[in-house]
Amino acid sequence: MRYRTIGDGRTSFDVSTLCLGTMLMGTLTDEATSFAILDRFVEAGGSFIDTANNYNAWGDGHGRDSEDVLGRWLASRGLRDRVRLATKLGAAKKDPALPLSNTPPTNYQGLAADIVDREAHESLTHLGVDRIDVLYGHVDDRDTALAETVGAFGALQDEGVVGITGISNVAVWRVVEAREEALRQGIAPYGLVQQQYSFIHPTPKLGRMNFVTPELLDYAASTGVDDRPPLAVTAYSPLHQGSLTRTDKPMWGGVDHPTTHARIRLLHEVARDVGATPNQVALAWLLGAAAPVIPIVGASTLAQLEETLGAAELDLDPEVRERLDAEPMERLAAA
């Protein structure tokens, strides 16, 4: 396993370059299997684990099932000092009687100061810890003033219960403004942004703010110098929930278009040539990019985890990367 340093200009620590996503643990992935996956991840050197306070409220869970599983695993293994925990708040149900919804009328709690404070402390209880290493706002809340949200995260840092803060599913300009607001308040800015990102990309659409963009990568790459505190990007659904290798998996979020299918064919060709699986090549492409990200990889079986771990130290030769990064239209023209 390899590692990188994340930070916000005041707090920093090392994490594994693969982050283990635990969204389905405690619901679709039973506790025994979840424990086995967590054990193997740490055994392989993994140290970064991601959850949220609403996993898996839209499935068979109550919303903190994943946090609860992690809390029981940590208590039984005594490994708190070997892992960095990330959780999220703000996207749990505002009205528990209504379905969770990301379309108007939305049913999210949002990022008002009282919610940030209450939900963070509730996560401490469910995780069984006294400090959350990384705390994200799960979904940007434009109905709450940035100054209020940013100040609430800073208060948790001042209290000593949160290390680095971050934001997810957000426009780049909002990230920049929030970080500037933090500096105005004299508190640490967001050090992480979590967005969706994989080898396939969606078509541009006004209002689609949850994907990594070249602009975000460029901004993140420009940080960590002088008066611009560092900012790292974490990527959820880096394997697009299996659709890179399985034709029975739906392509959602605007990625089902001819360029995507051309890129997937190319991915499989390259995987055969380098002797790896398509999923491993897709992860290595993210890890070794000029502006690398930290993929958040989920696994519901040990076999899936082992495949993922095989990407941790897979280096793609420059000519392979050039082939993968060729303009999609050139690929379509040759098809």
Long-range contact pairs involving 253-259 (C-beta distance under 8 Å, separation at least 24): 253/196, 253/202, 253/208, 253/210, 253/211, 254/202, 254/203, 254/205, 254/208, 255/200, 255/201, 255/202, 255/203, 257/203, 258/332, 259/201, 259/328, 259/329, 259/331, 259/332
Q: Can you give the pTM of this predicted structure?
A: 0.94
What the block records as the tokens of 108 is 């999210």
pLDDT tens by residue, 220-263: 999 999 889 999 999 999 999 999 999 888 888 899 999 999 99
> Where in the chain are the domains?
3-255+282-316
Which CATH number applies to 3-255+282-316: 3.40.50.620, 3.20.20.100, 3.40.50.2020, 3.40.309.10? 3.20.20.100
Query: pLDDT value at position 331?
Result: 52
Beta strands at 48-50 and 232-236: parallel, antiparallel or unpaired: unpaired
Tell me the pLDDT band of 24, cut-offs 50, 70 and 90. very high
Q: Quick one: 229 exposed, middle or buried, by C-beta within 10 A (0-12, 13-18, 19+)? A: buried
Tell me the pLDDT band of 334, cut-offs 50, 70 and 90. low
Average pLDDT, integer, range 142-157: 97
Contact 34, 305 (CB under 8 A): no
Single out the residue of 3, 7, 8 nearest to residue 19, CA to CA.
3
C-beta atoms surrounding 45 within 10 Å: 16
